[in-house]
Structure 1
């Protein structure tokens, strides 16, 4: 039996973005979801989410299996109990279509907060990156 996970993506994994191909076998659950935090442009072609903050951060929710989740972990520089992680994967509460759901997402690791260059005021990477 396959274990399935929900993942909230807010940057280059979204539809039409450069890394969306990682989710070709995933099931899109919502293309209009949001959580809270602060979104930044790193200046490196991808955003980073800071857990602190009350801005609405917009993205999509996908259902993925263990294999896809493992590939996302590699992309995001995340290892369980890793001390050198680029991002940390955490389960969060999301809002979509008047519902609340839980999903994993990737926050910038505290030791990498120096990468947070420009706050994305809209909370939406795709709108910012037009």
Structure 2
């Protein structure tokens, strides 16, 4: 089983959760250091040091090996040193250091707007009210 932190469309109930749903064996809430950026239909996470104080809420999914393969395909991650859209890096939960695993990140914002919320769901909810 492989732990993966998700924060956007792969969250339970969100538009791309079906990609991984059949491989998920457990789900736990989590939070990591970083900032979310609005790419339009989905977010991107940029890791930050704890000193910045910015946090992102999401879920820790425990998935079968095939689930990680399915997520790699969705996130256009082809492996270390490849021309990836997202990089897959190892991360630790900011509130519970016993939780750690993979997460898909961007190295920078790529010019996308910062999401001022800790949660993609909260951001989407506030967008729909505007």
- Shared fold by TM > 0.5? yes
Relative to its length, the structure with more strand (as a share) is 1
In structure 1, the residue matched to 2:128 is none
In structure 2, the residue matched to 1:129 is 124
1:80-101 deviation per Cα after TM superposition (whole angstroms, max 9, x unaligned): 12431000001100145x5531
Moved over 4 A (4+): none
Helix, strand or coil at the partner of 1:118 = coil
In structure 1, the residue matched to 2:45 is 49
Q: Distance in 2 between matches of 1:65 and 1:80?
A: 18
Preserved contact between residue 86 and residue 109 of structure 1 (Cα < 8 Å): no
In structure 1, the residue matched to 2:63 is 64
Q: Distance in 2 between matches of 1:88 and 1:71?
A: 15
How many residues are aligned here?
121
Preserved contact between residue 85 and residue 109 of structure 1 (Cα < 8 Å): no
Q: Distance in 2 between matches of 1:83 and 1:109?
A: 14
- What runs of 5+ residues in structure 1 fail to find an aligned partner? none
Q: 2:102 aligns with which of 96, 101, 104?
A: 104
What is the RMSD computed on CA atoms of the aligned residues? 1.7
In structure 2, the residue matched to 1:40 is 37
- What runs of 5+ residues in structure 2 fail to find an aligned partner? 126-130
Q: Distance in 2 between matches of 1:118 and 1:28?
A: 32
Q: Distance in 2 between matches of 1:67 and 1:16?
A: 20
